[in-house]
Amino acid sequence: MKGWGTLIALCFAVLCFAPLPALAAQEIKPFVRGSYQHIVAARQGRPFVVSFWSLTCSYCIAEMNLLKKLLKKHPELDLVLISTDTPEEQNSVRAVLADFSLDKSDAWVFADSYTERLRYEVDKTWQGELPRTYLFGAKNAVIAISGKLEDKEMERWVKAQYAP
């Protein structure tokens, strides 16, 4: 019987001191040729926002705060965040999204070294300026915005899309 007590004590100690499983990290998908068309097709007929950003873009980081506020106020907002950084920077991308509570959003990172081709697939007129945001209305109207978003304009757009 003494062996059982030791075994139980050992099992208890292992359970108590075993590291807790890490929280599931946000999935960041590779943005490659065809990804944009997939994103748009999957949301056909529903309003959503696609935001292109980068770790090195100060306006992009400032815009993350606006997106955080919008999502807090409108949790129904479908937000797709596409980092123009590299797959090697995925952990930094994930950390920024977590810092701004955007880690539940659909997240992607450029995974093709020929970034011009990816941008061309998104929008033939996009020259790479960031942040770059596309507002897809429920009736498939698309608005492209280069530069920092305006709080009031975004609030108005979201309300118009989700109004009963």
Q: What is the pLDDT of residues 89-101, one digit of tens each?
A: 999 999 999 999 9
- Residue 99: its pLDDT value, please? 97
7 pLDDT more than 70: no
Long-range contacts of 57-63 (CB under 8 A, 24+ apart): 57/130, 57/131, 59/130, 59/131, 59/147, 59/148, 60/130, 60/131, 61/96, 62/148, 63/131, 63/133, 63/148, 63/149
Please give the average per-residue pLDDT across 105-122, as a whole number.
96
Q: For the chain, which residues make up each domain, given as ranges?
A: 27-162
Long-range contacts of 150-154 (CB under 8 A, 24+ apart): 151/66, 151/69, 154/66, 154/70
Please give the average per-residue pLDDT across 16-38, as a whole number.
75
DSSP-assigned letter for residue 140: S
Q: Which CATH number fits domain 27-162: 3.40.30.10, 3.40.50.300, 1.10.150.120, 1.10.10.10?
A: 3.40.30.10
> Does the predicted model carry a pTM greater than 0.95?
no
